Amino acid sequence: MKKDVVDEILDQWSAERPELDTAGLDVVVRVMTLYRSFQRQAGEALAPMGLELFEYDVLSALRRQGDPYALAATALANETGLSTGAMTNRVDRLEARGLVKRRPDKADRRGVVVSLTAKGVKATDQAIRFRLEAADEALTGLTAAERTRLASLLRKVMLTVA
């Protein structure tokens, strides 16, 4: 099998420190490297729409909720793994572009509910197609069965780490 950059790194460590067990890095460094590559590919896929990946993440979280495509701002921050301060900044940008709107939360006087506008729903529905195409393109070297197996193994790792 052809060697990749991670093999080269691990070979160097083995030469310098043969007593070290680098097996864990064999997987982790590849996942970290792929993460950066996948982020770049996703950004490139969304660029024609003028969307940043972080903007898409917010729109996608709202769209996946189903009609009326809304979440309390705190729940939206939790859904996307962001602080409430970071979420406020992102919502400000998306609201300025007419993709989301805010309204007071009837269940919490201090809270805000963020929802997609019609323009936001349309943009998100278009963006998910770009994201899916980029993901499929990134995995062209794998068969359907290999993709399923890899997803299963990664899920297992996530459930033990996260």
Predicted confidence at residue 111, as pLDDT, reads: 87
Cβ 102 vs Cβ 114: under 8 Å:
yes
Q: In the chain, which residues have pLDDT < 70?
A: none
Predicted confidence at residue 3, as pLDDT, reads: 92
Q: What are phi and psi of 154, to 5 degrees?
A: -65, -40
Fold assignment, 51-161 = Arc Repressor Mutant, subunit A (1.10.10)
Buried b (16+ CB within 10 A) or exposed e, 78-88: ebbebeeeebb
Residue ranges per domain, the chain?
51-161
In DSSP terms, which residues pair with 33 in a beta bridge?
A: none
What is the β-pairing status of strands 100-105 and 70-72? unpaired
In DSSP terms, which residues pair with 70 in a beta bridge?
A: 115
Predicted confidence at residue 46, as pLDDT, reads: 96
Cβ 100 vs Cβ 55: under 8 Å:
no
Q: Count the residues in the chain.
A: 162
Token reading at 120: 């936001």
Q: What are phi and psi of 24, to 5 degrees?
A: -65, -40
Nearest to 65 by CA among 116, 122, 7, 14: 116
Nearest to 29 by CA among 41, 37, 19: 37
Nearest to 113 by CA among 102, 122, 123: 102
Predicted confidence at residue 21, as pLDDT, reads: 94
Q: How far apart are CA 43 and CA 128, in angstroms?
A: 12
Predicted confidence at residue 113, as pLDDT, reads: 96
Token reading at 45: 């896929």
Confidence (pTM): 0.85
